[in-house]
Structure 1
Amino acid sequence: MECLDPVLGAGDLAAEKLERANINPQTGLATDYLNHFNEVMMLLEMLPDMPDCSEDVLEWEPLDYEGHFENSSFKDKNLAIQAYHAAPSHLREHLEYRVADIDRMVGQIQQQLRDAPDVSAIAADIADFATHEIKPLISIASGVIHGHIEPEATQREGDGAQAEIDALFA
């Protein structure tokens, strides 16, 4: 019987093919997804010097992994989506948790910007918050893409997760 589910390391998802596409062959995840968050992060950090960047921050919308690649010019976007589906579920879930946190925080900032009579008055606080709260979450998401999950997260998200991570890199 033929296996219909893609498997990392085999067929279309062979390690060499994933590496050429800049997709982590061990996790099946691509750092290109983080560009979506790095863009808004850059805008948030520029707010104190360029308050009119707030318009671009307000236009930013959350995109899940598949949505990002479907709407991107990433050359191997179909491969990235296929590899995502083959990625270990605990890594996908952990990435999705971090992304949900980032999306929620950016949404809160967007609401602050909408409510502010003067963006200049809150721009420095927003940039500081983004630097100290959102940027570390983007770094954690990058770690997940590279197969690194902080130990306390695996305990929160499932007892079997650490064993699966250990098995992945054994």
Structure 2
Amino acid sequence: MHPPATCPAEPPSAAPPPRDDEAMPAGLSNDYLNHFSEALMLIELAAADPGIAADLAAWRPVGYRAHFEASRLRRAGAAIAAYDALDPAARAGFEELTGAMNRLVRTAVLALQPPCEAEDAAIVAVVTAPALRRLVGRAGAFLASGGADLAHEGEIEEAQTVIDRLIERAGSGD
């Protein structure tokens, strides 16, 4: 009899992720990223159940500021103020990054709409999920750094390549 499998412990240097309502340095908040994490989860679930596409179809892009303007989090005002106080170039870079995330999700949403077959839904998830996960991680690093750590060169272009592949595949009828 084998002992029950256990998950490996996180490396000691890995800090636990901040809670959804926890402010990041300089007042920025990662709560905004839940919007993308939800879409990522639904894209991955659609690989096993293409019926999830109907839930995913309701997903809409929303900007950082608009997210917190509609939020009931007690630190929403501070998150908006911190965002407004960012260097304009850093804020523009973050908005370019989130724009790539929005385009990636919207393209996956369109690709998963009926008559998407189960095998095609799995391909959409396999192609989309890793790129979106990397971009969400990069956006989280930006927020955690107080706006100092922006996307590495090529990450946004990589997302566009994924989008182009999805569009090409949808257009080919395969």
TM (norm. structure 1) is 0.69
Question: Normalized per residue, which structure has more helix?
Answer: 1
- For structure 2, the 5+ residue unaligned runs are 1-20, 155-174
Paired AA for residue 40 in structure 1: A
Aligned partners of 1:77, 1:139: CA distance in 2, in Å?
A: 21
8 Å CA contact 1:45, 1:131 repeated in 2: yes
Mapping for residues 21-100 of structure 1, pairs under 5 Å: 22-26=22-26, 28-100=27-99
Shift of 1:101: 0.3
| DSSP 3-state at the match of 2:25 | coil
Distance 1:125 1:80, change over 3 A: same
User: How many equivalent residue pairs?
Assistant: 131
2:125 matched residue in structure 1: 127
TM (norm. structure 2) is 0.67
Distance 1:132 1:22, change over 3 A: same
Q: Are residue 103 (structure 1) and residue 102 (structure 2) matched?
A: yes
Mapping for residues 139-150 of structure 1, pairs under 5 Å: 139-147=137-145, 148-150=149-151
Paired AA for residue 134 in structure 2: P
Paired AA for residue 23 in structure 2: I
* Sequence identity percentage: 30
8 Å CA contact 2:104, 2:132 repeated in 1: yes
8 Å CA contact 2:43, 2:108 repeated in 1: no
| DSSP 3-state at the match of 1:55 | helix
Where do 4+ consecutive residues of structure 1 move more than 4 Å?
none
8 Å CA contact 2:97, 2:151 repeated in 1: no
- For structure 1, the 5+ residue unaligned runs are 1-20, 154-170
1:166 matched residue in structure 2: none
Paired AA for residue 92 in structure 2: E
